[in-house]
Structure 1
Amino acid sequence: MNLFDGYKNLDNTYDELCENGRARVEFERVTASLGNKSLEEFARCQSLAELALLNQGVTFSVYADSHGTEKIFPFCLVPRIISANDWTLLEAGITQRVKALELFIDDLYTEQRIIKDNAVPADLVLGAKHFMPQLKGLKPPGGVRIHISGIDLIRSPDGVFRVLEDNLRTPSGVSYVLENRRLSKRVIPDALDAARVHTVDHYPARLASALRSVAPTASADPCIVVLTPGPYNSAYFEHSYLARTMGLELVQAADLFVDDDSVYVRTTRGPRKVDVIYRRTDEAYLDPEVFRPDSMLGVRGLMRAYAKGTVALANAPGNGVADDKAVYPFVPDIVRYYLGEEAKLAQVPTYVCLRDDDRKYVLENLDKLVVKAVDEAGGYGMLMGPSSSAAERAEFRERIIASPRRYIAQPRVELSTCPT
């Protein structure tokens, strides 16, 4: 008996591994390897994996959860596998998308050609919460603004990968990918061998190389630090994990200071000049001289040093204008404008409530749509229309009418599934 016998994928969804109860051809060896396990053996492996995650402190925080904020990262023995053909498409599409967004952000803070040419709505772009006019004319050291991107992808019921949103400020989550793979190799090595998966172990080295490449001055050993808000941040595990695996210092704001428009880190051997800061602190808290004056998480004078070109920040402040959810529908136009190409990746149809016709449709169909605040993430500021109450819809109706620029809406998309 095979462990997957009797498994049926849900109606109106795309199942990643199976179709009509049978493994997709490219994954037959994986399901055959896992399928030889008994339910008891499968459950034992799952328990061992969860215990390993607990012992190693692989956690994240959910601040709004009344049952406690610290959570063990979810792990499933059945891997979600992306075929080589799909990966080739995704790699090309994401590369194209990030290249266009890099040009878009640089243009917005310099010449604003895309605005002058009316290729995107000026009021919508320049009215984005995370557009920072005080950074206009400021060129980042190394000339790069998007050092790390987090492009959220889903697969719709038709089997097509679609971009759900772009994360270009402080993308998070890669450490869990690395830990998941490391753990999978321990508990289901045969299945991974059968799948012949590409390694992900090189990620920390490649990230460190990317950070070294933007150091303002040529040096065989630039000083690079990872700036964290501290151990109470939801992604602190990732901050410490990446610092450790890259061989970099993990610092907090109190460890840094600015002198003569250069940033220094305090060490036991005395101050050392910092060349690159991989910041995991939200830009609103980076420097109380420029952003929030009450910030206890930032370094006073940091933006002066950045403007002088003595330190590089990854990612660059101001990137949030391009991951605004109201800008998202225009990314295909942005790709076309800067690259002269059609976007390789599909998107989810989106209604921008700032537009009169879109807003009218959204208000008339709140029970069918997913409404999102353009400047929120992680599920905050969202209405799941099909499962919402009349009171919730009434509340969101008032919110949209009061602040239409702040909301977009999308049809509900059934996400792909996987045996678990």
Structure 2
Amino acid sequence: MEIMNEASVTTPPSRFYDEMYSGAQVRAHYGKVHRTLSRMTAEERQSRQKQMNGRLLEEGITFTLSGGDQPDGLERTIPFDLIPRIIPGDEWETIEQGTRQRVRALNAFLADIYNEQCILKDGLVPRRMVVANRYFRTEMMKLPVPGGTYVTAAGIDLIRDDKGDYYVLEDNLRSPSGFSYVFKSRSIMTTDFPELYFSQPVKGIERSLHEFRSALRNLAPTDKAEPVVALLTPGSFNSAYFEHTFLAQQMGIELVEGRDLVCRDHKIYIRKLSGLKKVDVLYRRIDDDYLDPLAFRPDSMLGVPGLMNAYRFGNITIANAPGTGVADDKAIYTFVPEMIRYYLNERPILNNVPTYMMSRRDEREHVLARLGEMVVKETSLSGGYGMLIGPASTEEERALFATKIRENPDNYIAQPTIKLSTSPICLDGRLTHRHIDLRVFALADGRNVHVLPGGLTRVAMKEGSLVVNSSQGGGVKDTWVLAN
């Protein structure tokens, strides 16, 4: 067993699964990283950490914070931790297969509910939970979707419990963010800590941007040799604008705002100085409500009037397809294992976190009697909003949520508080432990599902916190998948 050359490593709490340590022993796949960190003084580690975060600032890699003790709208660099999260190859194989299976099933579910609705007729998913869902779009009923692909880009959030078992926490299918942080994290590690990175046989991620671009191009509604792909952004004020510019630049696609586009003869064009340029595929990073003021919110200044008509006429592909949000609703999430059995005739590879439906009276009463032990989530929200974390809540907060649940039980689900795994982070040069999760990214084009090796490890930077979301102050780590 190796020990740091200073009293710099806190003993991992025994009630959590620690990624680097098994008790006092270093896990085998972390051996080289541990040795490298051991040879450094606290001052050297602190200097290296400062250098990495300085690069984030230089490159403008930011996110807008809100809530908690942060003023709303405060733009900060995302805290980056120099200690990577390492996943052995055989462990990753299970994650990859489980993610691919889940995305296939979710896409089949969307294709079904917007066409024949077999799963609703067979009673496996309650009809009212779908048709009354705020993200269900009647405009998509019976509408042909290019390649039958509703979900092109997905972010599947995984956690590990105290036994080290992986569970799916939630599915992100509307416009999942975080792709750019995966690539920037890797760039920082290879540039600013090469001796650590190149000490391991880490699977590369460079191919994934090519896969992303190919997935979008393959969805073009025509057989054009060079289809025009554009990324629709809300603009520079958006919290993830850095990611929008990064992806457009790296994939060689157009970056546009709604005001840059115009509809003519049920086709969408970019206004250029040289004239109009027809768009074949639109990768949107704005919500359904704002896509087209003629179809959805009439007060939207972000979308393109006539976009949905162009879509109906088959002249443009929108990725992800409008209406995908119904499948990442937190109540619908509970039925995904059944979807996998129903559509794929397979056993789920990755399990859901045990979940209670507040619309079911017996489950609701069970949760209300134990709110202090539960995590309660509003079904339609994401990013860590609309949540009650029971063990960290006050009596007043629990009473408020109990009232909300009783008034609108359909709007909430509850889960037991999972003892999220921890990982060492470098804080002022010394190592301490924080809770983490893993967002795994998948890219689909109707034929294949590519899973980006590693994904984004998110870190709850506050001691004891379970909230890892970047929008609420969470940090990130580079995630290494080891080649077998």
Do both proteins adopt the same fold according to a TM-score greater than 0.5, normalized to the shorter chain?
Answer: yes
Task: Give the match for residue 183 of structure 1.
Answer: 188
Partner SS, residue 80 of structure 1: strand
Task: Give the match for residue 44 of structure 1.
Answer: 47
Aligned-residue CA RMSD (Å):
1.3
Task: Give the match for residue 432 of structure 2.
Answer: none
Partner SS, residue 195 of structure 1: coil
Task: Give the match for residue 143 of structure 2.
Answer: 138
Provide the TM-score with structure 2 as the length reference: 0.85
Counterparts of 1:3 and 1:139, CA distance in 2: 63
Counterparts of 1:367 and 1:161, CA distance in 2: 24
Counterparts of 1:67 and 1:358, CA distance in 2: 35
Please report how far the alpha carbon of residue 97 of structure 1 lies from its aligned counterpart in structure 2 after TM superposition: 0.5
Give 5+ residue unaligned stretches, structure 1: none
Task: Give the match for residue 33 of structure 2.
Answer: 30
Deviations 1:353-406 (A, max 9, x none): 011111111211111111100000111111111111111111111111111100
Structure 2 counterpart of 1:56, from 54, 59, 69: 59
Q: After the TM superposition, which of the residue ranges 381-390 and 230-239 deviates more from structure 2?
A: 381-390
1:418 paired with 2:423, answer yes
Task: Give the match for residue 253 of structure 1.
Answer: 258
Partner SS, residue 422 of structure 2: coil
**Change over 3 Å in CA distance of 1:4–1:25 after alignment to 2:** farther
Give 5+ residue unaligned stretches, structure 2: 426-484
1:123-134 matches, within 5 Å, as 123-134=128-139
Provide the TM-score with structure 1 as the length reference: 0.97
Task: Give the match for residue 332 of structure 2.
Answer: 327
**Change over 3 Å in CA distance of 1:3–1:372 after alignment to 2:** farther
**Change over 3 Å in CA distance of 1:67–1:215 after alignment to 2:** closer
1:108 paired with 2:98, answer no
Deviations 1:319-346 (A, max 9, x none): 0111010011111011000011110001
Deviations 1:286-311 (A, max 9, x none): 00111111101010000000111100
**Change over 3 Å in CA distance of 1:4–1:148 after alignment to 2:** farther
Structure 2 counterpart of 1:11, from 10, 14, 17: 14
Q: Give yes or no for contact 2:66–2:72 (8 Å, CA) kept in 1.
A: no
Q: Give yes or no for contact 1:284–1:292 (8 Å, CA) kept in 2.
A: yes
Counterparts of 2:376 and 2:237, CA distance in 1: 30
1:225 paired with 2:233, answer no
Please report how far the alpha carbon of residue 124 of structure 1 lies from its aligned counterpart in structure 2 after TM superposition: 2.0
1:159 paired with 2:161, answer no
Aligned length: 420
Counterparts of 2:128 and 2:5, CA distance in 1: 56
Please report how far the alpha carbon of residue 21 of structure 1 lies from its aligned counterpart in structure 2 after TM superposition: 2.5
Counterparts of 1:3 and 1:325, CA distance in 2: 46
**Change over 3 Å in CA distance of 1:225–1:416 after alignment to 2:** same
Q: Give yes or no for contact 2:65–2:71 (8 Å, CA) kept in 1.
A: no
Partner SS, residue 78 of structure 1: strand
1:73 paired with 2:78, answer yes
Greater relative CO (CA pairs within 8 A, separation 6+): 2
Counterpart AA for 2:178 = G
Q: Give yes or no for contact 1:33–1:194 (8 Å, CA) kept in 2.
A: no
Q: After the TM superposition, which of the residue ranges 133-142 and 83-92 deviates more from structure 2?
A: 133-142
**Identity of counterpart residues, as a percentage?**
45
Query: Between Structure 1 and Structure 2, which shows a larger proportion of helix residues?
Result: 1
Counterpart AA for 1:164 = L
Q: Give yes or no for contact 2:14–2:23 (8 Å, CA) kept in 1.
A: no
Please report how far the alpha carbon of residue 241 of structure 1 lies from its aligned counterpart in structure 2 after TM superposition: 0.5
Please report how far the alpha carbon of residue 67 of structure 1 lies from its aligned counterpart in structure 2 after TM superposition: 6.7
Task: Give the match for residue 357 of structure 1.
Answer: 362
Counterparts of 2:213 and 2:145, CA distance in 1: 18
Please report how far the alpha carbon of residue 127 of structure 1 lies from its aligned counterpart in structure 2 after TM superposition: 2.4
Query: Between Structure 1 and Structure 2, which shows a larger proportion of strand residues?
Result: 2
Structure 2 counterpart of 1:209, from 214, 228, 250: 214
Counterparts of 1:30 and 1:391, CA distance in 2: 45
Task: Give the match for residue 381 of structure 1.
Answer: 386
